[in-house]
Structure 1
Amino acid sequence: MKILVVGATGTLGRQIVRHALDNDYEVRCLVRNTGKASFLKEWGAELIVGDICKPETLPPALKEVDAVVDAATTRATSSLSIKQVDWQGKVNLIQATQEADIKRYIFFSIVNAKEFENVPLMNIKYCTELFLQESGLDYTIFQLAGFMQGLIPQYGIPILDNQPVWVSGENTPIAYMNTQDVAKFVINALEIPETNKQTFPIMGDRAWSGEEIIRLCERLSGKEAKVSRIPIGLLRFLRGFTRWFGWTLNASDRLAFAEVIAGGKPMNAPMDDVYEKLQVDRDDITKLEDYLEEYFTRIMKKVREIDLEQSKKKKKKKGSFFK
């Protein structure tokens, strides 16, 4: 089977590419910059230049493809808006898939998206779900909560660097999952006809609050976190303020997502049925405690090695002084 992965350089997309190649799939990646995606080519994927915001670039990428895995999303540093990429770009890709007579399409949404119509990204994700359901494609929609990889810059690095860890509102509990594990569900779905025209949650078995993650990081690192709290009212003010200026609309849309993170409604869902239908062994899924323990163990070992090397250099300098 030959698949087209869109958003292949992202946190999730690259894991899907890696897992697909490991399972002997032919993988083509739609990329805007081949230089930044060179590692995918080194892995064995085919690269083709294109952009979902430029529909005329999509037909060549879809030629002789059996399935589309759409992992693209707006980057925080992008000059394009959420609406341009996550709505119009996705509409372009879905329509191009239909025109190429490709039936299989996998899309990633967010759990609870239907309940936050005032949050642009959530509303767009839900609208895309509806658009796919009416498309006639053999879609599979995966509703995600959060990635363990995002916990490192949010909690791990600030705690190790003695920098503030920012939390807000009621700090919604989130059932994080390792992107490597998400990729297992995705590739299995391609081979299971019963996943066609179905929606599945993909998330960890337990939802963690920010406070629980901070305490875990403190225990694993041996350091005390500097916690700074942002009132949700301030975030709402900033969102309203940034909407006054055209060049800050994207920032405003991202601030709106704080309503989800600070809302207090857990981002989780039952997974028993999903494990069974997608034929994934629960014991093979990474636990958040194990993920963070591995990270801190590796980092603390590196820190000790650096300290030891610096200590040796100081001793050599002292020795040379008396010669």
Structure 2
Amino acid sequence: MKVVIFGSTGTVGKHLIEQSLEKGHEVLAFCRQAEKLEMFKNSNLKIQEGDVFNPEDVSAAVQDQDVVIVALGSGKSRKSVVRSQGTKNIITAMKNNGVNRLICQSTLGTYESNENLNFFWKYIMFGWYLKQIFLDHELQERYVQNSGLDWTIVRPGAFTDGEKTELYRHGFGANAKSLKLKISRADVADFVLKQVTDTNYLHKTPGLSY
């Protein structure tokens, strides 16, 4: 498969690159600074520098791809709109280039999955401290769900630096109990990449947690 990864220099993005290459995919990593990916040496990896806010850059990256993976982060800003506006540009580019498969990493807590959160995440983190980032996630999801593309939105819990275990819960309902609300970045990448060839979660929003 030919896969383009947006957010490739992020903490999840690097796992996506590594695991995509292990699976034999042809990977195009879209990023602002190519030197951040200099640790990867693989003939199946291409790196394209660009700005997700620039429609021409995004279109060039999407062209001729089989699958688009969005793992955009907000950087150090709690007022960033890169997820929503970047994803909006990606969706437009996909439509213009005839690319249909979109896998978007969001967060557990958006919309109906808000019921999965505990008091700390629901009211302190997403309700106050990270409120603008949370709202940008929800806007991003709205763009994806209204895109008309073959989309899957993955909603992971809080990231950890653990190993890839593949021993996680996914696709649970809003009333699911005993969730740890945590998931390693490596396991997030594992689940996202399973969606490249699996359509069980097509047009669905699976949660992800231990």
TM-score bucket of the superposed structures, by smaller chain: 0.7 to 0.9
Query: 1: CA distance between counterparts of 2:95 and 2:191?
Result: 24
- 1:146 paired with 2:146, answer no
Structure 1 pair 50–90 and aligned structure 2 pair: CA distance change class (3 A): same
Counterpart of 1:100 in structure 2: which amino acid?
N
- 1:175 paired with 2:172, answer no
- 1:10 paired with 2:14, answer no
Structure 1 pair 187–59 and aligned structure 2 pair: CA distance change class (3 A): same
Q: Would the aligned equivalents of 1:146 and 1:174 in 2 still touch at CA under 8 Å? A: no
Quick one: which of 90, 93, 102 aligns to 1:93?
90
- Quote the residue 1:306 is aligned against: none
Quick one: which of 172, 180, 202 aligns to 1:196?
202
Q: Would the aligned equivalents of 1:138 and 1:196 in 2 still touch at CA under 8 Å? A: yes
Structure 1 residue 175: Cα displacement: 2.0
- 1:102 paired with 2:99, answer yes
1:121-173 deviations in Å (ceiling 9; x for gaps) = 112211221221111111110111111129xxxxxxxxxxxxxxxxxxxxxx8
Query: 2: CA distance between counterparts of 1:187 and 1:113?
Result: 21
Query: 2: CA distance between counterparts of 1:121 and 1:98?
Result: 26
- 1:112 paired with 2:109, answer yes
Gaps of 5+ in 2: 115-125, 163-178
Query: 2: CA distance between counterparts of 1:35 and 1:179?
Result: 21
Structure 1 residue 105: Cα displacement: 0.5
Superposed CA RMSD in Å reads: 2.0
Query: 1: CA distance between counterparts of 2:140 and 2:83?
Result: 8
State the SS of the aligned residue for 2:148.
Answer: coil
- Quote the residue 1:209 is aligned against: none
- Quote the residue 1:184 is aligned against: 190
Runs of 4+, deviation exceeding 4 Å? 115-118
Q: Would the aligned equivalents of 1:71 and 1:107 in 2 still touch at CA under 8 Å? A: yes
- 1:122 paired with 2:128, answer no
1:46-73 deviations in Å (ceiling 9; x for gaps) = 1011111111211211121001000111
- Quote the residue 1:249 is aligned against: none
1:91-116 deviations in Å (ceiling 9; x for gaps) = 11121112111100011111122356
Q: Would the aligned equivalents of 2:85 and 2:140 in 1 still touch at CA under 8 Å? A: no
State the SS of the aligned residue for 1:5.
Answer: strand
Q: Would the aligned equivalents of 2:153 and 2:205 in 1 still touch at CA under 8 Å? A: yes
Structure 1 residue 194: Cα displacement: 2.4
Counterpart of 1:90 in structure 2: which amino acid?
T
Q: Would the aligned equivalents of 2:4 and 2:69 in 1 still touch at CA under 8 Å? A: yes
- 1:137 paired with 2:149, answer yes
Higher helix proportion: 1
Query: 2: CA distance between counterparts of 1:81 and 1:49?
Result: 24
- 1:57 paired with 2:57, answer yes
Query: 1: CA distance between counterparts of 2:182 and 2:200?
Result: 26
Query: 2: CA distance between counterparts of 1:53 and 1:131?
Result: 15
Query: 1: CA distance between counterparts of 2:99 and 2:10?
Result: 24
Query: 2: CA distance between counterparts of 1:74 and 1:126?
Result: 14
Gaps of 5+ in 1: 151-172, 205-323
Query: 1: CA distance between counterparts of 2:79 and 2:133?
Result: 10
Counterpart of 2:19 in structure 1: which amino acid?
H
Query: 1: CA distance between counterparts of 2:107 and 2:58?
Result: 25
Q: Would the aligned equivalents of 1:106 and 1:139 in 2 still touch at CA under 8 Å? A: yes
How many residue pairs get aligned? The number is: 178
Q: Would the aligned equivalents of 1:117 and 1:123 in 2 still touch at CA under 8 Å? A: no
Higher relative contact order (CA 8 A, sep 6+): 2
Higher strand proportion: 2
Query: 1: CA distance between counterparts of 2:86 and 2:20?
Result: 24
Structure 1 residue 86: Cα displacement: 1.8
